[in-house]
Amino acid sequence: MVQQNRITAETKLLGLIGHPVNHSLSPVFQNAALNALKLDYVYLAFDISADNLINAVCTLRTWRLKGINVTVPHKEKIIQWLDRLDDTALLLGAVNVVVLNDEELVGYNTDGIGFAKALDFNQVDLNGKNIALLGAGGAARAVLSVLIERGIHKVTVYNRSLERSLQFQQWVKNSFTTEVEIDSWESFINGQSSFLNQVDVLINATRLGLNREFIEVPWNNVENSEWIIDVVYHREETPLVREARKKGKKAFDGKIMLLYQGAESFRLFTGHEAPIEVMERALNEALR
């Protein structure tokens, strides 16, 4: 809970922008962390449509918010209105943190840090593994960068837009000394992709599931897959994780990724190391 009796004319504002944001747990654990360290900030969530994004960025400057988290669908589009990107955001072409430094809006990306921490938390070994990656947006780029660091063997990308898949493939080729293969979304859901029976880990980096959408996974074709990972999260299990566990698969969603990317965001916003235990406890209480 925000300690409203502490809010004064000097209280600094932090926030989250995206569409939708009503499901977000970021305000819960960010405010818990701010309160634990007795920092004079408050963190709120703002539902911003794509058409209003430029106005939101102008407001960020005018109201002099200290910083914001950025979630779908704005992670890429917002870049055009920022002054500078850090190296990771520049590499990924996606931003999930914006900090106002003096008059300068600086974009960062902490999603990779969050995803790597989630892998460690769940003891997922990716070395030499074959990966089916669903999605070709900003989240998929952050995931892919970690997969390469962890020594995966092969990645095939399945996305609903062929144009986006081709752009993603070209980005990987330009950014890393590796390549990914692409296949159609229809080939995935129909189980026609020959790669599926070789998959060790299936990762959903699309926004499907955010509104409880069901992903048509061809379970018989990925029966050799050991892990099912969903970047999306909910207070309850996402449909993908729930179905995977019914099939006897090891699976987890994006809650731990959210927690640790949020902890790094907290450091960028405030200059203080995040009290991760406080944040985790607040997140778990909200989930209950």
Q: Is 87 annotated as a binding residue?
A: yes
Q: Is 137 annotated as a binding residue?
A: yes
Does residue 255 carry a catalytic annotation?
no
Q: Is 135 annotated as a binding residue?
A: yes
Sheet holding 12-18, edge to edge: 41-47, 12-18, 67-70, 97-101, 104-108, 84-85
Q: Is 136 annotated as a binding residue?
A: yes
The alpha helices in the chain, defined as continuous H runs, are: 26-36, 53-62, 87-92, 111-121, 138-149, 162-175, 185-189, 239-246, 255-270, 276-287
Q: Is 49 annotated as a binding residue?
A: no
Residue 13: both structure tokens together: 């504002």
Q: Is 114 annotated as a binding residue?
A: no
Q: Is 251 annotated as a binding residue?
A: no
> 92-114: b or e for each residue (b if 16 or more CB lie within 10 Å)?
bbbbbbbbbeeeebbbbbbbbbb
Residue 272: both structure tokens together: 């203080």
Q: Is 25 annotated as a binding residue?
A: yes
Catalytic residue among 12, 38, 66, 75: 75
The residue assigned the tokens 């752009």 is 167
Q: Is 231 annotated as a binding residue?
A: yes
Longest CA pairwise span in the chain (Å): 61
Q: Are residues 176 and 155 in contact, defined by beta-carbon separation less than 8 angstroms?
A: no
Q: Is 43 annotated as a binding residue?
A: no
Q: Is 133 annotated as a binding residue?
A: no
Distances (CA, A) of 11 to 5, 43, 128, 151: 11, 10, 49, 45
Q: Is 95 annotated as a binding residue?
A: no
The residue assigned the tokens 């925000």 is 2
Residue 90: both structure tokens together: 């520049």
For the annotated binding site for shikimate, the residues are 24-26, 71, 96, 111, 233, 261
State the catalytic residues: 75
For the annotated binding site for NADP(+), the residues are 87, 135-139, 231, 254
For the annotated binding site, the residues are 24-26, 71, 87, 96, 111, 135-139, 231, 233, 254, 261
